[in-house]
Amino acid sequence: MTDVNRPYVADKPAERPTNEELRARIPGWGADLDPADRPSTPKERFDPGATGAHWEFPDRQEETFPRERSIEHGMLPPVFGTVAPLHGLSGLIRRTAYARFGEGRLAHWLLLIVGDRVESTGAHLRAALALRPDDPVTETGVLTESAERELAAFRSSRADTSHRWIDPLLVAGPWVITGWIGWRILRAVLRRR
Amino acid sequence: MRAMVYRGPYKIRVEEKDVPRIEHPNDAIVRVTLAAICGSDLHLYHGMMPDTRIGTTFGHEFIGVVEEVGSSVQRLTRGDRVMVPFNVYCGSCYFCARGLYSNCHNVNPNATAVGGIYGYSHTTGGYDGGQAEYVRVPFADVGPQIIPDWMSDEDAVLLTDAVATGYFGAQLGEIAEGDTVVVLGAGPVGLYAARSAWLMGAGRVIVIDHLDYRLAKARDFAYAETLNFTEVDDVVVWMKKATDYLGADVVIDAAGAEADGSFVQQVTSTKLKLQGGSPVALNWAIDGARKGGTVAVVGAYGPIFSAVKFGDALNKGLTLRMNQTPVKRQWPRLFEHMQNGYLKPSDIVSHRIPLEHIADGYHLFSAKLDDCIKVLIEPGA
C-alpha cells in the first residue's frame, strides 16, 4: 500500500501532524472546529434586529443633482455617495453607460473605462492651465525606488519583473504622446507664419 | 481638510478638500486617526476599476473619532473612538436582514452586483474613503462600533477589512478537521487566512507566493509551509505532489485581480484592462484543489469578465464560495480570539506613513519594495 498514492484507494490517511502536536504548536488550533462557532455559518441568517437599524426603510437622502443609477435598480436607493458628480464629456459618456446598458453588458463597463480616461486627460490639462500641473514624479511615488531597493527587487526571484518594465510606459506614455502632438501643432502653426 | 485624491492611473496626490457634511439623518462625520492601504486599493490605483473618478479619495480601512452625528443617530456621540467596517450598509434591506452586509441594496445606485464600499470608485456607490482627515460615514447606527479599550489602534484598523477578510476566507473554505489548505497569496489577507485556517482545524496549511520576504512572514506569523512558485515549473503539479497526488481539500484565492504568474494574464488585465482581473491564482486554485474540494475566493476582481477555467471546476465537482466580507459579522468572534491570545493582527504591519507622503506608500506597496507587507496611513502626522 505504501507505494499507492491517496486518490487511488478509499481511505489512505494524509501525512500530517497529530491534533495534539498542532494544538501545542499553534495558538488557538481548532478553536473554530465546530461550524457553529464560525460567524459566517450559515451564510444567510435572517435576523433584521441584529444590525442596529431602527427603520423598516431608511429616510431618503436628498438628491441635490440628478444621480446616475444602474438600470438594474428598480429605483434610486435611499443613500448614495455624492462626491465627484458627472460633468463634461466624461460625464456624458458615463451617463450613457448607466442609462443605456445593464451591468451584464460589456459596453457598460468599457464606456465607463473610456469615461475614466477622458476625465483624467481633461483633469491633467485643466491642472496645467491652472498652473498646478500634475507632477509625475511626486504623484507616482517613484522616488521611493532608491537604487538599492530597485536592484534588490530585480535581483530576487520575483515573478513581476517580467512585466514591471511596462509600468513606466503606461505612466509616461500619455505625457510623451501629448507633448509630441503639442509640439507638432506648435511647429505647424509657426511654419504657417 | 487634507485628503488623498486620485489623479489617474498610477497617480495620486494630497490636496485640500471640503470637510464632508451630514447628508442623511443617520450619517456621522468621523475624524480619521489611522487608515491603511489595502491590496484592493491597488486595483483602483492602477486604473482597473471602472468609474474611478478624478478627485475622489480612496481608503476603506480606517478608524477615527466621531466628530458630528446626524439627527437620527442613537448609538454614537461626539468623541467616540470608532472602527468602521469597509462595507457601507443599511442594516434593513433584503440582504442585510439575512446577514449579507456586503451585498446591501440600499447604498449603491451605480451597481446592483456589489454593495457599498468606502473610497472604492463609483462602481461601489461613489463614497469618499478614509485616507483623509475626515470622512462621511452613512448609517452610523449600523456599521461603526466603539473600539474596546483593550484594543490598539493598529489592531482595530486591521480588523476593518484585512483580518476579517482573511478569517472570512477560511470560513468560506468550510475547512474540516485535518484538511490540507492552500492559500494563494501571502499579502495581508492571505496571511490572516492562513492563520485562520488553523483555528478551523486544518491539518496542513501551505502558502504560495513569489515574494520570499512575504513567504518568510507566512512561516513566522501563520505557521505555514511555503512555496515560492517561481522555483517550480508547474504550481499545480507541485500541489498535487505535495498532497500525494490528491489535490488540496481547500484552496483560498487571496491574491485576486493582480495575481502574478502569467505574463499574458498580467498584461491583458493589469496593463490593458481587457479582463476584470488576472485569474492566475483562481485557475491554480481550481486545478490544484482535489475533486469535490472547495475553492474560496476573497481576492477582489473587477466587474469585467476574466478568463477562468470553469470547465475544470465543473468536471471536478468543486464548490466555489466567495463574497466581499460582511465585516461586522466577524468581529465578536475575532475579538474573542484576540483576547485569548490566538491572533495579534498588527504583527504584519511593515510601514507607517504620514498622509502627506501617501503616494510613496502606494508605490512601495504596489512595487513590493522595502519588504512592504502592510502600510498604515497617519492623517495627523
The pLDDT score that the predictor gives to residue B380 is: 83
Contacting residues of A for B70, CB less than 8 Å apart: none
Mutate to test the interface with A, among B46, B82, B112 (most CBs of A within 10 A): B112
The pLDDT score that the predictor gives to residue B225 is: 98
- C-alpha span between A32 and B172 (Å, rounded): 13
Residue A127 lies in a domain: no
Q: Is B5 helix (H, G, I), strand (E, B) or coil?
A: strand
Cβ atoms B116, B86 nearer than 8 A: no
Residue A182 lies in a domain: yes
Contact B24 A5 (CB under 8 A): no
Contact A7 B105 (CB under 8 A): no
Q: Judging by DSSP bridges, how do beta strands B116-117 and B11-16 pair with one another?
A: unpaired
**Average pLDDT of the residues in A114-128:** 93
Contacting residues of B for A31, CB less than 8 Å apart: 199, 337, 340, 342
Which cell goes with B46? 492602477
- C-alpha span between B377 and B134 (Å, rounded): 13
Residue A187 lies in a domain: yes
**H or E stretch covering B207:** strand B204-209
Asked if the model's pLDDT at residue A154 lies above 80, the reply is no
Contact A45 B105 (CB under 8 A): no
**In which region does residue A52 sit, left (phi positive, over 0), alpha (psi from -120 to 50) or beta (all else)?**
left
Secondary structure letter of residue A55 according to DSSP: -
The pLDDT score that the predictor gives to residue A177 is: 86
Residue A88 lies in a domain: no
Range of the domain at A188: 163-193
Q: Closest Cα to residue B169, out of B39, B309, B357, B25? A: B39
Mutate to test the interface with B, among A9, A32, A158, A162 (most CBs of B within 10 A): A32
Which cell goes with B15? 490636496
Asked if the model's pLDDT at residue A1 lies above 70, the reply is no
Contact A28 B337 (CB under 8 A): yes
- C-alpha span between B40 and B350 (Å, rounded): 17
Residue A174 lies in a domain: yes
Asked if the model's pLDDT at residue A148 lies above 90, the reply is no
Q: What is the mean pLDDT of each run of 10 residues along chain B (381 residues)?
A: 96 97 98 98 95 98 98 98 98 98 98 98 98 98 98 98 98 98 98 98 98 97 98 97 98 95 89 90 98 98 94 98 98 98 98 97 94 96 75
B53-66 per-residue burial string, b: 16 or more CB within 10 A, e: under 16: bbebbbbbbbbbeb
Q: Which of B51, B99, B177 sits opposite A44 (nearest CB)?
A: B99
The pLDDT score that the predictor gives to residue A162 is: 82
Number of domains present in the structure of chain A = 1
Centre a 10 Å sphere on the Cβ of residue A108 and count the other Cβ atoms it contains: 23
Q: Which of A48, A52, A58 sits opposite B106 (nearest CB)?
A: A58
Contact A140 B168 (CB under 8 A): no
Cβ atoms B164, B171 nearer than 8 A: no
Give ipTM to 2 decimals: 0.95
Asked if the model's pLDDT at residue A150 lies above 80, the reply is no
Q: Closest Cα to residue B58, out of B69, B73, B70, B48? A: B48
B153: burial class by Cβ within 10 Å (0-12, 13-18, 19+)? middle
Contact B203 A135 (CB under 8 A): no
Contacting residues of A for B196, CB less than 8 Å apart: 32
Asked if the model's pLDDT at residue A182 lies above 90, the reply is no
Contact A7 B245 (CB under 8 A): yes
Contact B367 A145 (CB under 8 A): yes
Contact B368 A158 (CB under 8 A): yes
CA of A31 vs chain B CAs: smallest distance (Å)? 5
The pLDDT score that the predictor gives to residue A117 is: 94
The pLDDT score that the predictor gives to residue A165 is: 84
CA of B153 vs chain A CAs: smallest distance (Å)? 23
Cβ atoms B189, B300 nearer than 8 A: no
Residue A71 lies in a domain: no
Q: How many CA atoms lie within 13 A of A114 on its CB side?
A: 13
Contact B26 A58 (CB under 8 A): yes
Asked if the model's pLDDT at residue A71 lies above 80, the reply is yes
Contacting residues of A for B90, CB less than 8 Å apart: 53, 58, 78-79
The pLDDT score that the predictor gives to residue A192 is: 87
Cβ atoms B254, B189 nearer than 8 A: yes
B90: burial class by Cβ within 10 Å (0-12, 13-18, 19+)? buried
Mutate to test the interface with A, among B11, B69, B290, B291 (most CBs of A within 10 A): B11
Please provide the average confidence, as pLDDT, over all residues in chain A.
91
The pLDDT score that the predictor gives to residue B344 is: 97
- C-alpha span between B171 and B161 (Å, rounded): 15
Which cell goes with B281? 491564482
Residue A96 lies in a domain: no
Angle at B318 between CA B312 and CA B319, to 5 degrees: 140
The pLDDT score that the predictor gives to residue B65 is: 98
Q: Which of B9, B113, B367 sits opposite A170 (nearest CB)?
A: B9
pTM of the full structure = 0.96
Residue A168 lies in a domain: yes
**What domains are defined for chain B?**
2-161+326-378 (3.90.180.10), 165-322 (3.40.50.720)
Contact B246 A162 (CB under 8 A): no
The pLDDT score that the predictor gives to residue A174 is: 78
Tell me: cis bond preceding A42? Omega within 30 of 0 counts.
yes
The pLDDT score that the predictor gives to residue B187 is: 98
